[in-house]
A and B are shown apart, each in its own frame.
Chain A
Amino acid sequence: MPIFSIYITSKSGSLLYQKDFKVLNNPITKQNSNDYLVIASTLHGVHAISAKLTPAASAKNYLSSKLPTNSNKTGLRMITTSQFKIYMNQTVTGLEIILFTSPDMGQTKISGIYDKIYQLYCDYVLKNPFYQLEMPIRCKLFDDKLLSVVTTTNV
């Protein structure tokens, strides 16, 4: 159940961090740096629109779900395609973590990975005195720790 790539977008939809991981049989091809920006902001927009499409009868469905629901109650969560899945999670502050995984990745496993990544973001990005909010993330420690989290799940 490998993770192919990770995008982190800010609350306004700009791409803060993007990384493709080296995985065997990765269906995701390398794109232009511009395409990454387009994809990230499209996903951000679609995330908000999908909340508006909620059928009235299903509006309270999230109450019965077993997943952690302190954030992202109404927005887009998962996109399934034939070659990969996209998992999106939004924290209460608006930061979005988007993971591209293989189609066999489950929801419960992904929520554990989110927690770890968010923890890393707090520890190594937000606590970095040289990091400015809403700007692209260039922190070597975050890079390294993120890679080790992803490698442990990919193996």
Chain B
Amino acid sequence: MRIRNAIVGLVTVASLLTGCRSKDEVRFSMDPVENIEALWQIIDTKYCYIDTKGIDWSAIHDEYVTKAAVLQKGDQLGLFDLCAAMLDSLRDGHVNLYSNFDRSANTAWFDTYPANYSSTLQSLYLRDYRVAGGMYYCTIDEGRIGYIYYSSFSNSFSVANIDWIFSAFRECEGLIIDVRNNGGGDITNAYSLAALFFTENQTIGYWQHKNGPGHNDFSELEPMRLDASLMAGRKWQKPVVVLCNRRSYSATNLFVSMMRYAEHATIVGGVSGGGGGMPLSYELPCGWMVRFSSVRMYDREKKDIEPGIEPDIAVTMQSKNKDDIIEKAIEIIRK
């Protein structure tokens, strides 16, 4: 009996002690209005492009709180769709809502642009390829040009990967790096890949993080430095052509922006997708996670890279039996 009482007492004390919650905690809630208010507040205070994009965020608050008020409690699908619709007004590929049953994504930033990529046409060039560190590589144009297709900056690569690729391209007159439909990933991979084409350390852009709740509360511009010694100093000093399209997004957009400053590089294709805002995540009272742009990135001229990077030579794919963008790159290297 004494032991049982002691256990009951201990459990009671444990519940009391660990039951003490912080006053700053947001309580779990599925209430539609509470979650819409929380989502609106997160974006209002932490999203970095509200004023830049000319969004009337206050009007959106009124519109969606009114819609949330008529939603039935417990209608999770309805609440998710409402939150997703509110986030859609930001027109930002870095904005997503994650729940246990769905993920929202905005596609307006590329829907109205030419695709400028066809895997079928690409396969006419990408033959007998090998894959190293997520990079598909082969030679084209009778061995005169090296071709790399890098589909995601989430795939890491090593110095050894680069050594093998460069070894395969040692007889080539030029290199094509195709980052079309590359939706981004880790920006450290973007730095590493770009470093292959720079011989000196340099500022290749700036970033600016939010430091307060106001729409224009930002830190000073801080330089983004490219370290040319990355990848153990491996260098490609022959011509290089970077192929991009509207779906070259986020870290890929940053890579394209950096490559404009490389000595032997040419950017060919369509305007890149943007995604210059580095994303952060936060949770709503219902436990869903919202991702949003929080840190603004600029190029070396302090121009915002969120809208995308214009290519040096714009090419729109029109042919049915060849990849016009790759053909243009071959033509540039042959010159």
Is A bound to B? no
